[in-house]
Amino acid sequence: MVKRRPDLPPRARGRLARRLTAAAALGQFELPVCDACDAVVFPLQEICRACLGDQMTWRSVASSGTLLTRTVIRHSTDAYFQAHRPIAMGTARLDCGPVVFARLSSDCTEVGGRVRLFNRLDRSGEQVFVATPEDVSVEPNVVGDPNRVVKGKAVLVTGADGGIGRALVEAFVKAGASRVWTASRKAAGPDARDDAIVRHVRMDVTDVASVEAAVAATGGGVDIVVNNAGVTAISGLLDADTIEGARQEIEVNYLGTLNVIRAFAPSMKQRREGVFVNVLTVLAHANLPSMGSYCASKAAALSMTQGVRAELAPWGVRVAAIFPSTVDTPASADSPPPKLRPAQVAEAVLRQIIDGTEDVYPGRIAADLYAGWRDSHKVVERELGLALPEPR
């Protein structure tokens, strides 16, 4: 059991609520639906109130509803909430049936009015509902999580000279970051850019001393780190002449990312604030044998992502991951289309930070593959295995 810190809201939730938190982490509005009578079952329980059905299936349900009641909390026995008063909260009746408690946006004041509900993570990384007027499309960070703000933040992007890296830098500048550090092994930044916002810092992610020097060079106040540096040998696990490519992938994609997180985490922990976004791949879930060693390194990075997320959650530091399919960059020039544009990935990363989600699968291909993997990871394993050319 992780001890609660007073600068975070309560983390305690029951086992059933974990599933709701999982949906929030994925940006989904899902609730359990009774297999027998189709009633949406909430508050969470395992027996249907309507028909006593004992089997539920979690499904995406309509997030619209009506605001029933509203209050403004001006006193709390919880240290975190007491420090964050006043807090608007109320109950809403979902069109699909249940009455839910929710935090209310500042413009969500009309009792009886139509509302949209969002399933969100709070500052502790646990689930809460948020209600806004019905026409709102981007939930305005009602829980007041500083990690969901990009404007005014100091950002560092590793692998900044690559295709996705350049798009990320542009996206963060456009979103109002106060400083964007372009980190790469090179002495100068991409396009030799160095201005009031964008600054270059030399960093070899495989070299701990180099990473620590980069932390010092940035002054230690980086708020958002995007772990984008990565290498691909584009070879099978047995197909490669030596193990060097596989070793290099592990050194950069897994251990390099871990080096960066280990170097930047202490300052974030101290400030109780900070975000890591790890650029993974949907192939972190299942191995594509034609680039088998790369997939293995990303699987290691995914497992590491889960571990550091849990270690950093009690400190108010968020660890997110994005799982794209093939992206149209020089590194994947030989891969067949369809490919995501780097700007699409960068936009998804920005949106992910602003929405406070943990795992994002940008684009149709990644989303399909992820859905297939959730349905049966063995089916996806076979499909990817069959993509290997016939032996010659």
Residues labelled as active-site residues? 294
Give the nearest distance from C-beta 125 to another protein in angstroms.
Answer: 12
Q: What is the β-pairing status of strands 317-322 and 274-279? A: parallel
What are the CA-CA distances from residue 270 to residues 80, 213, 265, 318 (Å)? 17, 19, 9, 14
Relative orientation angle of helices 363-375 and 377-386, to the nearest 10 degrees:
120
Q: What is the β-pairing status of strands 87-94 and 64-73? A: antiparallel
Report if residue 34 touches another protein, rule: CB under 8 A: no
Which position among 28, 64, 76, 248 is part of the footprint of another protein (CB under 8 A)?
76
Q: 387 with 290: CB under 8 angstroms?
A: yes
Between vectors from CA 4 to CA 156 and to CA 261, what angle results, nearest 5°?
20
Give the nearest distance from C-beta 105 to another protein in angstroms.
Answer: 13
Residue closer to another protein by CB (options 73, 237) is 73
Size of the site for another protein (CB under 8 A): 43
What are the CA-CA distances from residue 324 to residues 189, 255, 349, 390 (Å)? 25, 20, 10, 27
Report if residue 19 touches another protein, rule: CB under 8 A: no
Residue 48's contacts (CB-CB under 8 Å, 6 or more residues apart) are 34, 36, 37, 39, 41, 54, 56
Report if residue 9 touches another protein, rule: CB under 8 A: yes
Report if residue 102 touches another protein, rule: CB under 8 A: yes
Report if residue 51 touches another protein, rule: CB under 8 A: no
Spatial separation of the C-alpha atoms in residues 54 and 60, rounded to whole Å: 19
DSSP state of 340: B
Report if residue 90 touches another protein, rule: CB under 8 A: yes
Report if residue 358 touches another protein, rule: CB under 8 A: no
Report if residue 17 touches another protein, rule: CB under 8 A: yes
Give the nearest distance from C-beta 25 to another protein in angstroms.
Answer: 15
Report if residue 80 touches another protein, rule: CB under 8 A: yes
Report if residue 77 touches another protein, rule: CB under 8 A: yes
Residue closer to another protein by CB (options 14, 389) is 14
Phi, psi of 378, rounded to the nearest 5 degrees: -75, -35
Give the nearest distance from C-beta 109 to another protein in angstroms.
Answer: 11
Report if residue 43 touches another protein, rule: CB under 8 A: yes
Q: For binding to another protein (CB under 8 A), which residues are involved?
A: 9-10, 12-14, 16-17, 20, 42-44, 49, 68-78, 80-82, 87-91, 93, 99-103, 111, 122, 126-129
